[in-house]
Amino acid sequence: MMLRFNFFKRKIKYITLFLLCITTSYAQEINEVKAKILILKKDNFIAVKAQAENEGVLFKDEFNYNLLVLKKSKDGSYSNNKQSGEFSLKPNEKKELSLIRLSLNPDEELRAYLFIKHKETLIDKDTLVIVPKKVGIIKKEKIDESNFVLKGLVIEEAITKIGKDFYDFFYQEYLLSGLKYPFIIKIKEKPGLRRTTVLIIEADDKKVFEFMTMPGEDFLKRAVKASLVRLSSYSKQRNTLLSYKI
């Protein structure tokens, strides 16, 4: 009986070691994909290029990327360009994933963020910053391990006047509240039934609130308050989850 027990014990040990080796090898393979941002400048125009490189000898697939370029004007307002997509890489291949062209004045700041994921797992990231009045100076910035932090940023993707009015009311209320959440808030709008549209409020690319639009300032202001309540709840849940990971 004891011999049989020892046999199974050794067998389980070997299986565990085998699975550990497979997992480690798999992690090394996907971590061989690297993210890189390249900047091309000519006069007052900037081209931001997102690039991925496979440093390994195996074919890599099921990868996706997110490129976010933020331009901050002299008055402190933001404009943004975002591109995303899926890609695969041959052994030792460098591939251009995306290219964003835009103008940049000497008194404007530009930040570019590139994230590469394998399915839902973050594999690599890169960032570049061009500081105001020094357009020729480009510097790297370190990003937080789990994500990048852009406090107080609200991105508007409205398609109607009602959607844009909601954004204006929301942003004004958000600034007055003094809150600056460490995640990007997006206000999206999509067609609804008949002549209505649907407004969606997202945090970290997750939907936290949505509603059918109606004309009227009072309705939009009530929707703003409801949105801020949902965002506050999301922020508390997010902080709780992050505290468990530490």
User: Could you report the per-residue pLDDT of 92-101, keeping only the tens digit for each?
Assistant: 999 999 999 9
With H, G, I as helix, E, B as strand and everything else as coil, classify residue 9.
helix
Q: What element of type H or E holds 34?
A: strand 33-42
Within-domain flag for 5: no
Mean pLDDT (the chain, rounded): 80
What domain range includes position 66? 33-140
Per-residue model confidence as pLDDT tens digits over 221-233: 999 999 999 999 9
In this prediction, what percent of the chain has a pLDDT beyond 70?
77
Q: Indicate whether 43 and 128 sit together in one domain.
A: yes
User: Do the domain assignments include residue 28?
Assistant: no
User: Please, what is the Cα angle at 239 between 164 and 184, to 5 degrees?
Assistant: 25
* Residue 3 maps to a domain: no
- Is 132 in the same domain as 40? yes
Structural domain tally of the chain? 2
* Residue bearing tokens 């699975």: 19
Which among 185, 191, 190 has a CA at the least distance from the CA of 205? Answer: 185
